[in-house]
Structure 1
Amino acid sequence: MSEAKQGPDLAAGVPLAALEDGGLLAGHVGEAAVLLARRGEEVFALGAHCTHYGAPLATGILVGETVRCPWHHACFSLRSGEAERAPAFDPLERWEVRREGDRIRVGGKRPAPAPRRLPPAPDAPSRILVLGGGAAGFAAAERLRREGYEGSLTLLSEDADAPYDRPNLSKDYLAGEAEEGWMPLRPAGWYGEQGIDLRLATRVDRIDPAGRAVRLADGAALPFDRLLIATGAEPVRPPIPGAEDPAVLVLRSWADCRGLIAQAEGARSAVLVGAGFIGLEVAAALRQRGLAVTVVAPQPRPLERVLGPGLAGVVRQVHEAQGVRFRLGEEVATVAPDRVRLKSGDEIAADLVLLGTGVRPRTALAEAAGIAVENGILVDAMLETSIPGIFAAGDVARWPDPHGGGRIRVEHWVVAERMGQAAALAMLGRGAPFDAVPFFWSRHYHDLNIDYLGHAERWDDIAVEGDLARPRAVLRYRAGGRVLAVATVDRDRENLRLEAAMEAGPLPA
């Protein structure tokens, strides 16, 4: 049976009793895969697969009148099909549902909802500028148009490529498993159709808050009523002799990734300096390309600072089983494009060397404009900076965390997209305090899937439920009697439930 025809024929109907309140059922209508969702006495029929990466929504959960994707936590309205939260942007299709006695039948496809139109408002911005074409910048521009904003909208990006799926740079695309066409977040013509003035390879020279304008490097001035700074972060080249050599690689942009792939095609070995998420995902991708990979880092275990010793040990075992060699607890003395010398005196030769030594927020424009900066651009709960009318979102922004307390800055793709969406609403005067629970995912080969919720820079202890040896477990990171963060291994639906619980209030410690 084809994937499209899995499950019951919903056009023929199913008993209402087959779908409990809060339940999900995958079936089909003709060749189309359709999902039934029940909330109380109402039953909804929608597309069965997430519009982000195609995950089966039947393995997700219902929260209120939404269905949430089990893979990357996209959220869709049951009534409209709209993608309410990133990382999905496209809506689900909808079908008519008829109740005939104790049976439910699915009829024809329903038309897409009419585009929203904003009611006139005397203080509505007529010109919005977005600095940065990454996750937050794209998500903000997309949401502004989806919300019915019809004013001038300009998206400035230093990147030569239109907004693309950055997480794939260290995952499937680098491994050779994702096609070129999968990378753009929208087709090239979409920006013009939406009236978004997308300017690529454009460098901003300064922000003029008093003049309410942005000055470009070519001397042009662009006025704004609202400004969103979404300049992201940039790779750190550590103060190690040789690290500034452009031939020593870093990975941040699509151009960086193309260069890495080109070099990997003629290479037999690689050294990665740094055992963070990017370094390890690159290690996995290069192993899939057949390169011998060595990872060098000063920590005793990869990712221990984020995941703790138990799960970090599992990560190391998975990579070692795939042939990755680790030189942990080692410090680098010098780097070159073809070798790394350790402080121990050992030298590791390689055909390519890549630095995975973290990133730093790109705050220079904000700082020069007099905007408050401290390990990122400081914003309030509405993502507005210290200067009214100027907002910040994504990797560059540091915001008040309603879940863990204090201020946090998070370098995760989904968080940046959700912040961009929240900033769009705030700029229109329709926002609410940003309170999303931080979420990220990390995949290592096809053997280890880690989903992480919340934010824990330190913890008193880690409570483990399940078995890390399988590995299939839930880890709770606790401090001061509170659960600050949760990591799950191969328990997608449980991670969704925990996210909903964290949104509602603190988890039991």
Structure 2
Amino acid sequence: MTKILIIGAGHAGGSVAALLRQYGYEGPIVLVGDEASAPYQRPPLSKAWLKGEATQEDLLLRPESFYAEQGITLRTGMTATAIDREEKRVRFADGTEETYDSLVLATGSTARKLAIPGADRPDLLELRTLEDAGKLKAALRPGSRLAVVGGGYVGLEAAASARALGVEVVVLERMDRVLARVASETLSTFFTDLHRAHGVEIRTGVEVTAFEDGGVRLADGSRVAADVVLVGVGGLARDDLARAAGLVCDNGVVVDGTARTSDPAIHAVGDMTFRPLPVHGGRMQRLESVPNALEQAKQVAAALTGRPAPAPEVPWFWSDQYEVKLQIAGLPNDADRQLVRGDPAEERFAVFHLSGDHIVCVEAVNAPAEFMGGRQLIGRATPVDAVKLADPAVSMKAVALQTF
């Protein structure tokens, strides 16, 4: 019987293993991860876990006993170093090897590093793994000062959690607004105001040029004092193993709609992939999200068990900061205009991105109906009446059904 080897025991890899059993695969499955833990959820690391509202056991995708019960061999603390595609075997840092008939790569992403003096300081923190989160949690004390370098979602979530712990926080963003690469200006303004209302100092248009004892140095020569420095300036696909094996890569491992790589015996899933998005005209993009990992896990499990390919999904994301829940569906790349439904001052609104009379993205703040309705309209490519869409008095159900 064929053997499936999964390299990467995060959300994507762990989901592939579980879905294979759910879909009826009875052959050997070996799941190998370089962290010490069984597969766990990463989103709570910057939120519930950091604030002490969740335990390490709460983070686990499934109880550790699940893998033995399902006949899945779980090997943790193992780093893959090379893939021999001819012999169909993977070598590990400890000198051991694993053979495979089908290989699934799920190595995720790694934190982007700044090429500036002090970037290799051991006291600099990042937030990608449970170990990273443990270091940050241990460093945050009431009354201490945290400098967050990078105004993206992870940095802002960590800032919100730190404020809940009584930590003073300053966010340093190189662009002219937070979330500049991933959100509308309306959303950026809302979250800037939200964080400032909670006592966070937000500084935009500033560039960190060095990390020093007790703080960071900026391009204008000034210094920002901090007891703890967290760097969150984006992530890079961990595709070095795939590149060394000769797989086609471009901003990640290039895969098709079944998550298959340029080698028919190898699939890749999750943050590490550069994948087609059928809902957005087949454009290729790398996504870092749990829904993306789960969608590709379903694609792989279906392909390896002979099931029909699952229907393409609308990309979606979320972020929790303070008492605010942000939900995003779709991508705004092809939008030619935006409209706001609701009032940001009331902390309940949605920004719709439209291309012609079609929604391509919705950013919903404490607005689940707008999120769900927008997601459905994107998936169905249903045209909408923009005037009605902008009117909160018209329900999203009526907008979707065009019953005004």
What TM-score, normalized to structure 2?
0.91
Residue number in structure 1 paired with 2:398: none
Matches of residues 11-50 of structure 1 in structure 2 within 5 Å? none
The letter of the residue matching 1:423 is V
Residue number in structure 2 paired with 1:301: 177
Counterpart among 356, 368, 375 of residue 499 in structure 1 = 375
Residue number in structure 2 paired with 1:272: 148
Hey, which of these two has a bigger chunk of helix by percent?
Answer: 2
Change (3 A) 1:426 1:185: same
Residue number in structure 1 paired with 2:402: none
Q: 1:197 Cα deviation (Å)?
A: 0.7
Q: 1:429 Cα deviation (Å)?
A: 2.4
Counterpart among 42, 45, 50 of residue 174 in structure 1 = 50
The letter of the residue matching 2:54 is A
* Contact 2:141-2:166 at 8 Å conserved across structures: no
Counterpart among 78, 86, 107 of residue 202 in structure 1 = 78
Counterpart among 322, 328, 331 of residue 207 in structure 2 = 331
**Cα deviation 1:319-345 (Å, max 9, x = unaligned):** 001100011111111113520111112
The letter of the residue matching 2:293 is A
Change (3 A) 1:206 1:431: farther
Asked if 1:248 is matched to 2:117, the reply is no
Alpha-carbon distance in 1 for matches of 2:332, 2:10: 25
Bigger relative contact order (CA 8 A; separation at least 6): 2
Residue number in structure 1 paired with 2:394: none
Q: Any idea what SS the aligned residue of 1:326 has? A: strand
Aligned identity (percent) is 37
Q: Which runs of 5+ in 2 are unaligned?
A: 387-404
Change (3 A) 1:281 1:134: same
Residue number in structure 1 paired with 2:163: 287
Matches of residues 192-231 of structure 1 in structure 2 within 5 Å? 192-231=68-107
Alpha-carbon distance in 2 for matches of 1:307, 1:313: 10
**Cα deviation 1:332-376 (Å, max 9, x = unaligned):** 111135201111121111111010111000001111111100001
Alpha-carbon distance in 1 for matches of 2:142, 2:86: 53
Asked if 1:233 is matched to 2:233, the reply is no
Residue number in structure 2 paired with 1:443: 320
**Cα deviation 1:210-259 (Å, max 9, x = unaligned):** 11111122222211111111110000111121112221111111011111
Deviates more, 1:421-430 or 1:283-292: 421-430
* Contact 1:383-1:391 at 8 Å conserved across structures: yes
* Contact 2:253-2:261 at 8 Å conserved across structures: yes
Residue number in structure 1 paired with 2:336: 460
Residue number in structure 2 paired with 1:419: 296
Q: 1:479 Cα deviation (Å)?
A: 4.3
RMSD of aligned Cα (Å): 1.7
The letter of the residue matching 1:408 is Q
* Contact 1:247-1:337 at 8 Å conserved across structures: no
Matches of residues 114-193 of structure 1 in structure 2 within 5 Å? 126-193=2-69
* Contact 1:443-1:449 at 8 Å conserved across structures: yes
Residue number in structure 1 paired with 2:396: none
Change (3 A) 1:507 1:290: farther
The letter of the residue matching 2:294 is E
* Contact 1:269-1:352 at 8 Å conserved across structures: yes
Q: Any idea what SS the aligned residue of 1:403 has? A: helix
Q: 1:191 Cα deviation (Å)?
A: 1.1
Q: Which runs of 5+ in 1 are unaligned?
A: 1-124
**Cα deviation 1:271-298 (Å, max 9, x = unaligned):** 0000000000000011111010000011
**Cα deviation 1:480-504 (Å, max 9, x = unaligned):** 6653211111111332232233222
Q: Any idea what SS the aligned residue of 2:364 has? A: strand
**Cα deviation 1:356-415 (Å, max 9, x = unaligned):** 111000001111111100001111111111110211110011111112221111101221
Change (3 A) 1:431 1:392: farther
Q: Select the structure of larger CA radius of gyration.
A: 1
